[in-house]
Amino acid sequence: MADDELYRMTAVQAVQHLRHGRVSPLELVEAAIERIEAVDARLNALPTRCFERARAHARVLMNGGGDPPHAAHWLGGLPIAVKDLVDVAGVRTTYGSPIYAEHVPARSDLLVERLEANGAIVIAKSNTPEFGAGASTFNEVFGKTCNPWDVGKSVAGSSGGSAAALASGQVWLATGSDLGGSLRLPASFNAVLGLRPSPGCVARGPELEPFSTLAVEGPMARTAADLALMLDAMSGAHPCDPLAVPAPAHAYARQMRETHPARRIGFSTDLGLSVVDGEVAALCAQAATELASACDAELVEEVPDLSGAQNCFQTLRAAGYAANHSDTLARHRAQLKPEVVWNIEKGLTLTAAQIGAAEHVRGRLVQNTGEYFQRCDLLVCPTAIVPPFDVDVRYVEQVGEHRFDNYVDWMTLTYAISLLGCPALSAPAGFTAGGLPVGLQIVGPPRGEGRVLAAAQALETATGIALRLPIDPR
């Protein structure tokens, strides 16, 4: 089978070929390498490649190593990309920071160990901003990542390298992580899918803050079925992650197929929190209508009361940055980008009373949302408030007459949802008049991953956007 046929397959199709012996893991590795070398010079999505490690892993699988091929979530030797915030044993892992430019970990993160145990082959590390801070992917180690839909535009962040690699067909699946929107915003900007699962769905670590629920790991893919496949391969309890829960009795792929997404869908263009570009709002309103029609659901303009979410998130985010990076600031201040310095310093000035007040606000938001999901099955809204912007812009400073206070502020529609403990994904909603992708954020109740995946698949069928991927950079 020709390499160009292989990279155009969905992950589900590729795994089926692996299961039935129609293609080997090594053939897929070579197809991915050929595609990476053909297109990534224009994108810089996968700056760290581990091709020989991938080839060696493929040979082990082909010689009968690893779990049996009938295992429930066996990926069978499918090459994937891993975000450069996540350790891969023996592979340069920089966290996007010059401080760790030559860092090579001895052990992989729990997430990578699980994926490899389930038949994934790590072929490259995807680019990310320094320590994942900021929703545009650039750093002082590797430079900027460009958008395959328009190489003059941003891929968003912080999982921007993963999103661009998927959209351009360099890998079939990729990992991402999400604190304030780092899975969902790149998915929106690149016309792929990114899922922020409920906390504990995917084991991670070792972590300095193992009980934190703001940051999660999750899957990225080109189709809803591929997303479900990867979530199944990622999920499950682990003794080193106290929050991780067992995988569900019914696989997420099965839940996606068997769950009716919704009878009542709440929609808002702004969640009552933020300004939104007019073209983005219109495209998402149309996509919400298409989703409701596909689900035979009632579409209502109703959202939970999320007032106070901005200050709450900014406070808890800053506290986390201080907890995780205060020592880095003290020792390497000159090497940190200014946005990271600002966030750490903001955290160091917080009082216990301020942090406690933010936790109380979060509790109120969670309660409001729980009551909301007794009335509505899903909440949908735009993922990003703007289409992809210039690749050399660090962050969105202004929309219309509204100016944002800091580099995080424009991400309100995703970070407000991060506070709630709900699964949320971005699915392609359409394209602007200039041909730039726009994503629709789909939010479900806690542990409602199957529901949001089913909704994403319904929207995917209605729009047909997934059929346009992968693309050549343009």
Q: Which residues are catalytic?
A: 83, 158, 182
Closest listed residue to residue 212, CA positions, set 239, 236, 242: 242
Structure tokens that stand for 462 in this block: 């209605």
Structure tokens that stand for 142 in this block: 């590797």
Structure tokens that stand for 299 in this block: 């579409």
CB-count exposure of residue 264 (10 Å: 0-12, 13-18, 19+): middle
Closest listed residue to residue 172, CA positions, set 51, 19, 36, 42: 36
Structure tokens that stand for 40 in this block: 């990534």
Q: CA–CA separation, 275 vs 288, rounded Å?
A: 18
Q: Which runs of E-coded beta strand occur in 155-223?
A: 173-178, 193-196, 216-221
Closest listed residue to residue 299, CA positions, set 205, 214, 378: 378
Question: What residue type is 26 in one-letter code?
Answer: L
Kindly report the number of other CB atoms within 10 A of residue 230's CB atom. 29
Q: Is the peptide bond before 304 cis (omega within 30 degrees of 0)?
A: no
Tell me the torsion sign for CA atoms 96, 99, 103, 105. Answer: negative
